[in-house]
C-alpha cells in the first residue's frame, strides 16, 4: 500500500490541535505518516506571555516541551525552521534539507504589524514569542535597577516611563501586569511610585472594542487604579532614538512595547500561494488553499470571511480550525466529501493583573476574581486536553507556588537575546 505523508507546519495552538486529531484518527494506519515541523523544541502559550513579560511567572511556565504532548509515536516531531515551500514538487525547505508531503497543514501563526510607522519595528519591543517576552521582562527589570543608581531626574524619568501601544487584549494585559509589577519593583529598588509613568495608547475612542462598553470601562478603571494612564484616540506617528511622537503632539521618552497590529507570518512572502495583503493565506470554506488543494491552513495563518467577517485571530479559531483541517484531510484520504469549517466561539476574557479579569461568555458577564478563576480554568482545560494531568500540575505550580524569581542581572547582561535592546 502506498504511504501518504501529512505534514503539519507549526507547533502552536492550531498545529498541535491538527496533529493530535490526525494522531487519533490514524494511529492504527501504518500507511499514513504524520510529521509536525516546529522551529522550537516547545509549544509557546502565547496567551500568557504578558505574565512572563510583567514578571509574574517564570518563563518556563509558557514553554511546553513538544515531547510531552503526544500519547503515541505516530506523530514524528521535527525541530526545524522552514524557509521555503515548493507547492508543485510538494517539498518544504529549510537550511538543513527538504521534507516531502502529500498533504500540508500550514499553521505558522502571526507576527506584529507596524502599519509602516517609522522606527517602531527597530526601536520598539514586541510581545509575540517566548524570547520577546523574556527580553521585555529583563528590560523592565533593568530600567528599575538602573534608575535606582542614577541621580539625574531627567534620566530617571526616561528610564521609568513605559508606553504600551494598543488597547486590545495583549496591550491591556501587558499594561495591567506592568502596573502591578511596578509596585514590587519600586519597593525592591526604593523608588517613589510617583516617578513611574505607564501609558496605554489606543488610536480608537475606546479600548477593548471586542467587549461591551461596560466591561471595557471596568478594565479601564482597573488599569487606572494600577497607575496606568489610558490615552484613547491617541496614535503613534513615529519613533526615533529621541522619543515616541504621538498624534497629540506630545513626545514621550521611555520604553515602547508594541502590541497594536497583527499580520500573518511574513516568511510566506514570494511563495507561490495566494495570501492577502497581510500574509494570511486565502482559503475556502474547508480552510483549503484556494490555489493548492492538498494544502490546508489553520489558526492565525487563515484569511477567510465567515459570515462576512474575518475569522478572529484567537485561540478558539486556532484549535477548532486545526481539528477541522485534520478531519477534512481524513475525509479526503477516505474519499469522502469534506465538511466546511463552522467556528463555535464560547466567549472572551482579559486579565488586568493577577487578581482581576473580565469575561463574557455568551450572555454571561463576569468581573474580578470570578473571571480570574475562570481564566485559570480555561487554561487548565486547554492544558489537560493537550498533555493531561502533568501539565496541570506544572501550571498550578508556576501560577501559585513558584512565582517569579528575581532574574540575576549578570545572567541578563550576558544573554545574547539582549543584543538589540534599545531604550529611548
Ligand X SMILES: Cc1cc2nc3c(=O)[nH]c(=O)nc-3n(C[C@H](O)[C@H](O)[C@H](O)COP(=O)(O)OP(=O)(O)OC[C@H]3O[C@@H](n4cnc5c(N)ncnc54)[C@H](O)[C@@H]3O)c2cc1C
Q: Which x/- pattern, by CB under 6 A, does the window 232-271 give for ligand X?
A: ---------------------------------x-x----
- Identified binder of ligand X from the candidate list 21, 90, 161, 170, rule CB under 6 A: 170
- To the nearest whole angstrom, how small is the minimum distance from the Cβ of residue 421 to ligand X? 19
- Which secondary structure element, helix H or strand E, spans residue 143, and what is its range? helix 130-147
Which of 50, 56, 137, 280 forms a contact with ligand X (CB under 6 A)? 50
Provide the strand spans (E) within 10-146.
Answer: 32-38, 42-44, 63-65, 75-79, 82-86, 91-94, 97-100, 103-106, 110-112, 125-126
Measured at the CA of 268, the angle between CA 266 and CA 269, to 5 degrees, comes to 75
Residue-wise over 207-235: b if at least 16 C-beta within 10 A, else e?
Answer: bbeebeeebbebbbebbeebbbebbeebb
CB of 6 to ligand X, least distance (A): 16
Judged by CB under 6 A, which of 26, 36, 38, 199 binds ligand X?
38
- Of 78, 94, 98, the C-alpha closest to 10 is 78
How far CA 45 is from CA of 11, 174, 315, in Å, comes to 11, 15, 10
Q: How far is the CB of 127 from ligand X (least distance, A)?
A: 5
The only residue of 22, 75, 120, 127 in contact with ligand X, by rule CB under 6 A: 127
CA distance 93 to 84: 5
Is residue 12 close enough to count as binding ligand X by CB under 6 A? Answer: yes
Strand pairing report for 295-297 and 103-106 = parallel
Per-residue contact string for residues 74-113; x = within reach of ligand X by CB under 6 A? -------xx------------------------xxx----
Site of grid cell 517539498: 91
Nearer to ligand X, 150 or 377 (CB): 377
Q: Under the criterion CB under 6 A, does residue 15 sit at the interface with ligand X?
A: yes
Residues 6+ apart with CB under 8 A from 368: 355, 356, 357
Are 202 and 170 in contact by the 8 Å Cβ rule? The answer is: no
Nearer to ligand X, 106 or 234 (CB): 106
- Considering the complex, what minimum distance in angstroms separates the CB of residue 259 from ligand X? 7
Asked if 390 and 383 count as a contact pair (C-beta separation under 8 A), the reply is no
CB of 315 to ligand X, least distance (A): 4
Q: Which of 33, 40, 76, 421 binds ligand X (CB under 6 A)?
A: 40
Is 294 a binder of ligand X (CB under 6 A)?
A: no
Query: Nearer Cβ to ligand X, position 21 or 44?
Result: 44
Nearest distance from C-beta of residue 133 to ligand X, angstroms: 8
- Given the rule CB under 6 A, which of 114-122, 240-248, 282-290, 294-302 is the region that contacts ligand X? 294-302
Out of 4, 7, 8, 10, name the contact with ligand X by CB under 6 A.
10
Given the rule CB under 6 A, which residues bind ligand X? Answer: 9-15, 37-40, 44, 46-47, 49-50, 81-82, 107-109, 127-128, 169-170, 265, 267, 299-301, 313-316, 318
Amino acid at each position: 500500500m502506498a504511504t501518504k505523508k501529512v505534514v503539519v507546519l507549526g507547533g502552536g495552538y492550531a498545529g498541535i490541535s491538527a496533529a493530535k486529531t490526525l494522531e487519533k484518527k490514524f494511529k492504527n494506519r501504518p500507511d499514513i505518516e504524520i510529521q509536525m515541523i516546529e522551529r522550537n523544541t516547545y509549544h509557546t502559550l502565547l496567551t500568557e506571555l504578558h505574565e512572563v513579560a510583567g514578571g509574574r511567572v517564570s518563563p518556563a511556565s509558557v514553554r511546553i516541551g513538544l515531547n510531552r504532548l503526544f500519547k503515541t509515536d505516530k506523530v514524528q516531531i521535527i525541530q526545524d525552521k522552514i524557509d521555503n515551500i515548493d507547492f508543485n514538487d510538494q517539498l518544504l525547505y529549510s537550511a538543513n534539507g527538504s521534507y516531502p508531503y502529500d498533504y500540508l497543514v500550514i499553521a505558522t501563526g502571526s507576527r506584529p504589524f507596524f502599519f509602516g510607522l517609522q522606527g517602531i519595528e527597530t526601536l520598539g519591543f514586541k510581545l509575540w514569542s517566548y524570547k520577546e517576552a523574556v527580553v521585555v521582562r529583563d528590560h523592565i527589570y533593568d530600567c528599575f535597577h538602573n534608575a535606582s543608581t542614577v541621580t539625574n531626574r531627567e534620566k530617571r524619568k526616561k528610564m521609568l516611563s513605559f508606553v504600551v501601544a494598543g488597547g486590545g487584549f495583549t496591550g491591556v494585559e501587558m499594561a495591567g501586569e506592568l502596573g502591578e509589577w511596578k509596585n514590587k519593583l519600586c519597593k525592591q529598588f526604593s523608588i517613589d511610585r510617583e516617578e513611574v509613568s505607564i501609558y496605554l495608547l489606543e488610536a480608537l475612542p475606546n479600548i477593548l472594542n471586542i467587549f461591551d462598553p461596560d466591561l471595557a470601562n471596568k478594565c479601564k478603571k482597573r488599569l487606572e487604579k494600577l497607575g496606568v494612564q489610558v490615552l484613547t484616540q491617541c496614535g503613534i506617528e513615529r519613533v526615533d532614538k529621541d522619543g515616541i511622537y504621538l498624534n497629540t503632539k506630545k513626545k514621550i521618552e521611555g520604553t515602547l512595547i508594541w502590541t497594536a497590529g497583527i499580520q500573518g507570518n511574513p516568511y510566506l512572502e514570494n511563495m507561490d500561494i495566494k495570501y492577502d495583503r497581510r500574509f494570511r493565506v486565502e482559503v475556502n470554506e474547508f480552510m483549503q488553499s484556494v490555489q493548492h488543494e492538498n494544502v490546508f491552513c489553520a489558526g492565525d495563518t487563515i484569511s477567510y470571511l465567515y459570515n462576512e467577517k474575518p475569522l478572529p485571530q484567537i485561540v478558539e479559531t486556532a484549535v477548532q480550525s486545526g481539528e477541522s483541517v485534520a478531519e477534512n484531510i481524513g475525509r479526503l484520504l477516505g474519499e469522502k466529501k469534506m465538511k466546511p469549517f463552522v467556528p463555535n466561539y464560547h466567549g472572551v476574557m482579559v486579565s488586568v493583573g493577577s487578581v482581576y479579569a473580565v469575561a463574557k461568555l455568551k450572555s454571561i458577564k463576569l468581573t474580578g476574581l470570578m473571571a480570574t478563576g475562570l481564566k485559570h480554568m480555561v487554561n487548565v482545560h486547554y492544558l489537560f486536553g493537550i498533555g493531561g494531568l502533568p501539565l496541570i500540575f506544572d501550571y498550578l505550580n508556576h501560577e501559585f507556588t513558584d512565582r517569579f524569581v528575581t532574574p540575576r542581572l549578570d545572567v541578563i547582561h550576558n544573554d545574547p537575546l539582549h543584543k538589540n535592546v534599545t531604550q529611548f
